[in-house]
Amino acid sequence: MRNRMNTFFVCAVTSAAIFFPAFQLDIAFAADASPDVSQTASEIDRLLNQQFDKDGITPTRPVGDEDFLRRARLDLLGTLSPPSETTKFVLSPAENKRTELIDKLLAEPAFGELWASYWSDVIFMRATEQRSQIGRPIFQQWMTTQLNNNRPWSEITHELLTATGNVRESGQTALFFAHASVPEEIASEVPRIFLGIQLNCANCHDHPTDPWKREQFHELAAYFTRTTFRIDNSGTERTFNIGSLNAAAARLGNRPEPRTLLFRLDRNRDGAISKDEARGQIANRFDDLLKTFDKNKDSKLNTEELTAALAQAVMQPGRGTAEHYMPDLKNPSSKGTLIEPAFFVEGAEGPSLPHGMDDLARRQAVSQFVTSKSNPWFAKAFVNRIWSELLGQGFTMPIDDMGETKGTIHPEVLDLLAGQFAETNYDIKWLFRTIMNTQAYQRQLAPASSNLSEHPFAAAKPTRLRGDQVYLSLQSAVGNFGTPGRFLRRENQAALLPAVAFRQKAAFTGTFGFDPSTPQDELAGSIPQALYLMNSTSLNARIQAEGRTNLGILLRNNRDNKAALDELYLTTLTRYPSADEQKINLSYIKATGDRNEAFEDILWALLNSTEFLSKR
């Protein structure tokens, strides 16, 4: 494969337009009971325009049909439209064609696949248990089903917070698997993911800017202290199980009452257990237990010592504990302060939690607090995430650090949209449909000479595509490129085994992926990304004009260079080339003297362009 750096000028011309660095929710409701999409979208725009008028600015006009089609497909499916679909959409005289397109794309199975990948990144990119990556495929499969079935966000959240089972079989175990069921880690991630609140620094001290106290963090952690994470070697492949301390009482002879256990093992009735009397896991670890808990040095464990051993022996990560203790920072070797579960958001309604309730009851209780309509953070956090992904900027940034003291852009719009979202009983597709029908979503980019970029939502914000969107866009443009030398047409990709396809995509997104909670302003391309696009042998094999590649078929179907160039631009950028681009490219084709080679270079330049890697 020859070096194409000498043809990079085509990429520069193409990119000139864009530059930037057991509880169950049984609420039934009729479809027509939800707030009207068009009315809510209109009210959002009215509130935004009201502020723009006060600021004396004029927002940009709506984008053309080509740009809207590309934007909507990338946001909902991650793919580009075929040229025929683009032409059909642009020529359609229907006044409501954009609304109909949104509805059509939301009904596609690829919608769930794309957004399951997004939530996989949200959960696994901050995983503290590195082995949890084996749980990604089954999580994405499970999440795809939830999203395509339009299951309410509250129910999906409930499943994630109360999950148990084999991590290779139960996708909803992802959150606990990602953090090995460590209560403090889960207590950090639950507010961040589901409430947009950073509570993790309150683990060691009161929050420095928000009102959250250290005790509140540990009260939240106490809901998760009885959740277990254990290796399972019983099958043909090693796996892990997320379970409950109460449901796995056989571990280390764990029983609700140490006195009962002592009575069963103490055969000589001397009030203590000797090594000869020990059974099960206690026998296996008896010498270690003596070193730590034999306070009177009689080489036995009495009731008091056995109680301490049973409480402490399961305090290792993933084993679960009967109770949660907030560490004493001045005396780390001490047991700490006993903490009962309590939810930290004032006003959030949920069940009381009598002392002694088991693991699942605790997690069901905290799930009810998190998803309650009396907890405003739940709806706001989800709305802020989706709005930010669709428009490139949230009402509060970063999106997972909303906090009580953080400034909010257009708070009246966030309150309206979050309130309506809650009124739909957290209908995910309703939220996408509503946001995408607003003028705010459909605006053009700000002209380079204007200051509209300083006014959020007055103009579209160019955003970098996520790794999964880049991968799917490349496949839309050139076909499958994951396996060098193996050419599969788009319609034949179902022949790939799901596991193989997942590994191919995962390898690519490992280079192009980023934490989706990162603000767009903090993102930048990397050298490995540039080198991959420039030099990947598998990708370059799909850029060849010979054989049954997409480019080869395009050129054979379009003998006229101008027609071929139009279709190539529609395929990659969902638009026709400008007059300047057309002139430069046609001149290049003529000067090269080899039609196939020239079009290969042009395609390579388009795929490496900023415009291809961004959403405009």
Please state the three-class secondary structure of 117-180 as a single string. HHHHHHHHCCCCCHHHHHHHHHHHHHHHHHHHCCCCHHHHHHHHHHCCEECCCCHHHHHHHHCC
CA distances from 610 to 70, 71, 324, 480, 524 (A): 15, 15, 51, 21, 11
Range with the largest mean pLDDT of 183-197, 483-497, 533-547: 183-197
CA separation for the pair 342, 365 (Å, rounded) = 10
Average pLDDT (377-406) is 93
Which pair of tokens denotes residue 597?
């080679």
Give the predicted TM-score (pTM) of the model.
0.83
Cα–Cα distance for residue pair 25/23, rounded to 1 Å: 7
Q: Answer with the residue of higher pLDDT: 566 or 528.
A: 566
Are 469 and 514 contacting, i.e. CB atoms less than 8 angstroms apart?
Answer: no
CB 66 within 8 A of CB 97: no
User: Which of 226-240, 329-343, 481-495 is least confident?
Assistant: 481-495
- Of 5-14, 310-319, 356-365, 458-467, the least confident: 5-14
State the pLDDT at residue 352.
81
Q: Tokens 């799917």, residue?
A: 472
What's the confidence (pLDDT) of residue 235? Answer: 77
Tell me if residue 90 falls in helix, strand or coil.
helix
Judged on CB neighbours under 10 Å (0-12, 13-18, 19+), 580 is exposed
Over pLDDT 90: what percentage of the chain?
A: 60
Q: Which residue has the higher pLDDT, 437 or 541?
A: 437
Q: Which amino acid is at 312?
A: Q
What was the pLDDT predicted at 498?
56
Among the ranges given (369-378, 431-440, 494-503, 568-577), the one the predictor scored with the smallest mean pLDDT: 494-503
Question: Residue 573 CB: number of other CB atoms within 10 A?
Answer: 23
Q: Work out the pLDDT band at 525, boundaries 50, 70, 90.
A: confident
pLDDT at 484: 37
**Continuous H helices in 244-347:** 258-265, 280-284, 286-293, 303-313
pLDDT for position 253: 37
| Highest averaged pLDDT of the listed ranges 29-33, 91-95, 541-545 | 91-95
The pLDDT of residue 51 is above 90? yes
The answer on pLDDT for 482 being more than 80 is no
Per-residue pLDDT, averaged over 160-164, amounts to: 96
Lowest-pLDDT choice from 72-76, 158-162, 229-233: 229-233
* Cβ–Cβ under 8 Å, residues 180 and 319: no
pLDDT at 4: 55
Q: In this structure, are residues 153 and 367 in contact, taking their beta carbons and an 8 Å threshold?
A: no
Q: Element (H or E) spanning 494, and its range? A: none
Among 401, 320, 393, 398, residue whose Cα is nearest residue 362:
320
CB 604 within 8 A of CB 12: no
Could you give the CA distance from residue 21 to residue 461 in angstroms, rounded to a whole number? 12
User: Residue 98, CB half-sphere, CA atoms under 13 Å: how many?
Assistant: 22
Q: Is 82 exposed, middle or buried (0-12, 13-18, 19+ CB in 10 A)?
A: middle
With pLDDT > 70 as the criterion, what percentage of the chain qualifies? 86
Encode pLDDT of 274-312 as tens digits.
888 887 667 767 887 787 788 888 999 888 887 776 655
Q: What residues does 338 pair with on adjacent strands?
A: 325
For residues 492 and 44, what is the distance between their CA atoms, to the nearest angstrom? 43
Which residue in 591, 587, 474 sits closest to 529, CA to CA? 474
Q: Extract the tokens encoding 174.
A: 């992802």
Q: Is residue 256 reached through a cis peptide bond, with omega within 30 degrees of 0 on the bond before it? A: no
The pLDDT assigned to 249 comes to 45
At residue 136, φ and ψ (nearest 5 deg) are -60, -50
461: phi then psi, degrees, rounded to nearest 5: -110, 120
Mean pLDDT of the 4-12 span: 48
